[in-house]
Amino acid sequence: MLIVKKFGGTSVADKERIFNVARRIAEDYKKGNEIVVVLSAMGKQTDVLLEMARNINPKASKREIDMLLTTGEQTSVALMAMALNALDIPAVSLNAFQVAMHTTSAYGNSRLKRIDTERISVELENKRVVVVTGFQGVNKMDDYTTLGRGGSDTTAVALAAALHADTCEIYTDVEGVYTADPRLVSDARKLKEITYDEMLEMASLGAGVLHNRSVEMAKKYGVQLVVRSSLNNSEGTLVKEEVKMEKMLVSGVASDRNTARISVIGLEDQPGVAFKLFNHLARHDVNVDIILQSVGRDGTKDISFTVNEDDLEEAVATLERHRQGSLKCQKIDVEKEVAKVSVVGAGMMSHAGVAAKMFEALYDVGVNIKMISTSEIRVTVLIDDIHVEKAMNAVHEKFFASQL
């Protein structure tokens, strides 16, 4: 079997953990598998490097920041190859340049375009474990680029796709994907399987186990993922196209506090108003989420929507700038202390009543719903963020109590 194994920063944070990982790799290698390992930088090294950059020059160019950040992964792969060698396992480390992992030009947030597999294949034929830097690539100027925070997952999936690997294992410090964040919901349990689509919804809702783009890529190329713990041997969670096991109505409850609500009050009730509003925001790369428009009255209407809290300032500034011009309104109202709580499940496509059940759970604990949005496999509500924990537990219990 050809196996791609990705280990995150905590899994390689120090000597002991590096050897833990090396021993696991050695086990699979000795069984006759071909192994490609993808690593993140050790521990919080990426943050440390970012802080160093800020300290020298708060306005450092993205090119130089990428040049710096890529040293983090380069350190961990070299040390891992050394550790494997110390265990008498032949291994070689390769960075993005040596493999040739080609990306788009954008520093700090590039996308993988193509991976040359020749060098890796030759090394595998020579019976070496190949240890590859995650998170980085090379653009057409032959400069290093990075794929965005958490990007090593995407490197692993892309390599698995390019090499036609039999499986792609993502090792992390949790045991898999859970029905809810175990830090918030003590009854949360590990899922055996989850679909790509559910995982994408969960990831974008703040269940930070996998990089979103890695799941998109896995879906596109049909790469089966396994999320499992680097600390023990428990089974983990399979991420795949369809799950055939117990068809659960809902597979998880997720929350996201990093959200804010903006209401634009007293807009003209005319064609093109929503277009103008959201077009201005799109031009400034502000992603909007839940959108709610009121019924028009006296020739005016209100539009409310949520944005990521990091984009709030930009969003409000953009709206204020256009307020006197193309976007006449009476007031712009902002609320930061809000959070999203969502239930996600492929099962709800064919079952009625999921939304009602969720709303009932919130009613039971006296939590008021401010906004609602749905997709085929998700129901999201916006609530006051002080109620997140209470709401999560109530909703989780409603859907999962009978299954525990």
135 vs 400 by CB, closer to ligand ASP = 135
Q: Is the dihedral of CA 238, 244, 246, 248 positive or negative?
A: positive
CA-CA distance, 299 to 135, in Å (whole number)?
51
* 345 binds ligand ASP, rule: CB under 6 A: no
- Match 């109590």 to its residue by tokens: 401
Which one, 153 or 311, has the nearer CB to Mg ion?
Answer: 153
**Comparison of 134 and 236: residue with beta carbon closer to ligand ASP:** 134
Min dist CB 356 to Mg ion, Å, is 35
- State yes or no: residue 152 binds ligand ASP (CB under 6 A): yes
Q: Are strands 91-94 and 129-133 parallel, antiparallel or unpaired?
A: parallel
201: which 2 tokens?
Answer: 């919804």
Closest CB to Mg ion among 223 and 361?
A: 223
Measure the CA–CA gap between 208 and 372, rounded to whole angstroms.
Answer: 22
Give the Cα-Cα-Cα angle 29, 34, 37 (nearest 5 degrees).
Answer: 85
Instruction: Rule CB under 5 A: say whether 72 interacts with Mg ion.
Output: no
Q: Which of 43, 134, 137, 150 binds Mg ion (CB under 5 A)?
A: 150
Q: Which of 43, 134, 137, 252 binds ligand ASP (CB under 6 A)?
A: 134
Please provide the DSSP assignment of 355-397 as one string: HHHHHHHHHHTTPPP-EEEEETTEEEEEEEGGGHHHHHHHHHH
Strand order, beta sheet including 252-268: 288-293, 300-308, 252-268, 331-344, 378-384, 371-375
Alpha helices (runs of H) in 130-238, residue ranges in sequence order: 152-162, 196-204, 212-221
144 touching ligand ASP, by CB under 6 A: no
Report angle CA 306, 370, 402 to the nearest 5 degrees: 105
Measured between its terminal Cα atoms, the distance across the chain in Å is: 36
| Among the listed residues 4, 25, 38, 41, the single contact to ligand ASP using CB under 6 A | 41
Choices 38-46, 123-131, 201-209, 324-332 (CB under 6 A): range interacting with ligand ASP: 38-46
Task: Specify the residue, 96 or 348, whose C-beta has the smaller distance to Mg ion.
Answer: 96
Region from 2-10, 65-73, 109-117, 120-128 binding Mg ion, contact rule CB under 5 A: 2-10
- The residue within the footprint of ligand ASP, chosen from 63, 111, 119, 149 (CB under 6 A), is 149
Q: Which residue in the set 4, 9, 99, 180 belongs to the binding site for ligand ASP (CB under 6 A)?
A: 9
CA 107 vs CA 44, 96, 103, 249: distances in Å: 20, 14, 10, 41
Question: Judged by CB under 6 A, which of 93, 96, 115, 151 binds ligand ASP?
Answer: 151
Using Cβ positions, the residue closest to Mg ion within the complex turns out to be 150
d(Cα 167, Cα 243) in Å, to the nearest integer? 17
Between 46 and 255, name the residue whose CB sits nearer to ligand ASP: 46
Residue count, binding to ligand ASP (CB under 6 A):
12
Shortest CB 53 distance to ligand ASP, Å: 14
Taking CB within 5 to 8 Å according to partner kind, which of Mg ion, ligand ASP, none is near residue 9?
A: ligand ASP
Stretch near ligand ASP under the rule CB under 6 A, chosen from 143-151, 170-178, 348-356, 370-378: 143-151
Find which of ligand ASP, Mg ion, none residue 72 binds, CB within 5 to 8 Å per kind. ligand ASP
- Tell me how far apart the alpha carbons of residues 374 and 385 are, in angstroms, rounded to a whole number: 19
Q: Which does 149 bind (CB under 5 to 8 A by kind): ligand ASP, Mg ion, none?
A: ligand ASP
User: Contacting ligand ASP (CB under 6 A), which of 7, 29, 135, 400?
Assistant: 135
Cβ closer to ligand ASP: 172 or 318? 172
If binding is defined by CB under 6 A, does position 196 make contact with ligand ASP?
A: no
Give start and end residues of each alpha helix (H) in 172-260: 196-204, 212-221
Report the distance separating Cα 14 and Cα 358, nearest Å: 43
Interface positions with Mg ion (CB under 5 A): 8, 150
Interface positions with ligand ASP (CB under 6 A): 8-9, 40-41, 46, 72, 134-135, 149-152
